[in-house]
Amino acid sequence: MFKQATLEERRKYYREEWDIKQVPDFIGNFIENREFGFDHFGRGPNDRYKVFSTLDYLKRFLRSKTPFAAYCSVAYYQKPRRRDGWMKSELVFDVDAKDIPIRTCGCDDVCEICLNEAKEIVGGLIDTLKGDLGLKNMHLIYSGRGYHIRVIDDDVMGLGSDVRSQILKYIVGADVPKDKYDDAAGIYDLQHFSIPLGYPKVFTQRVKYGIFHLTEDSKLDDVNLKLLKDVIKYRNLLEDDEWGLFKNRIGPLRYKKIIKGIASLNMSLVDAKVSIDLKRILRLPSSLHSKVSMRCTEIKNIETFDPFKDAVPKFVWERED
């Protein structure tokens, strides 16, 4: 399934299977403001600063060149050929299955298990973007080895890198929440799992995900194998959200170590460089990810999407080996 596509297979894909109508409207409607980039030899994008005034020109180019990979910018420019006159950028989150910091599969590259784990992570991030931040206009793309969340709400497209970084930390649960709160009546100790809203709730969800995906081979800062084994032994308590009992079984000091370790790993759930880069180029939805022979696909329903059914080009099924 993940075998690299040959030049002949790329030609077959773009000339017989691919359709310009598969390029999503959120790209096609502003095509003249986007920079396009292409990888013709499988060594990374080496043909940048391309501009197409219409979808028809893009269609002709792809069918003629049948590139190894095709990309378009998350940014809108007044002069995209020079990446000049930046107007705004999509807010993007890139979850690559092979880079997930805690994977239960143990594979060296990507497999069905880690792709499903990436999908699970993406579902949680989308829930937070909608529920906590009120964002509505977003598109989910299967990239070939993971998922891209592309947010095009006007409220976020003008944001700078610093704010995008703060949003990223919030949705992945990268900081341990404070546990002391005060008002006129005094100071209160409140653990993150006892606060059912806001960032403490998000953090609790991400920590729970992390704990249930730990294996004895997982590597967390300041967490030894004995603590790791105890967390795995008692994590069934969290199925019913028995956080207090779980913390007592682990021990308060060791509990702090485990949530601090997972918070540190959470920052790697998403490629931060992609999120803060205002001029990034991402794989063009509908294009071929030639390295793994899968189609970069816009997802309409994450619950029913199956990359092994919905993102496999016809030429893969026709292979004889």
Give the catalytic positions in this structure.
94, 96, 271
Residues facing residue 148 across a β-bridge: 94, 141
One-character DSSP codes across 23-78: S-HHHHTTGGG--EEEESSSSS--EEEE--SSHHHHHHHHHHH--SEEEEESEEEE
* 138 DSSP β-pair partners: 151
Residue 304 to residue 289: CA distance in whole angstroms: 21
Q: What is the C-alpha to C-alpha distance for residues 53 and 55, in angstroms, rounded to an integer?
A: 7
Question: By three-state DSSP, how is residue 312 classified?
Answer: coil
Contact 172, 266 (CB under 8 A): yes
CA–CA gap between residue 257 and residue 167 (Å, rounded) = 24
Burial group, residue 198, by CB count within 10 angstroms (0-12, 13-18, 19+): exposed
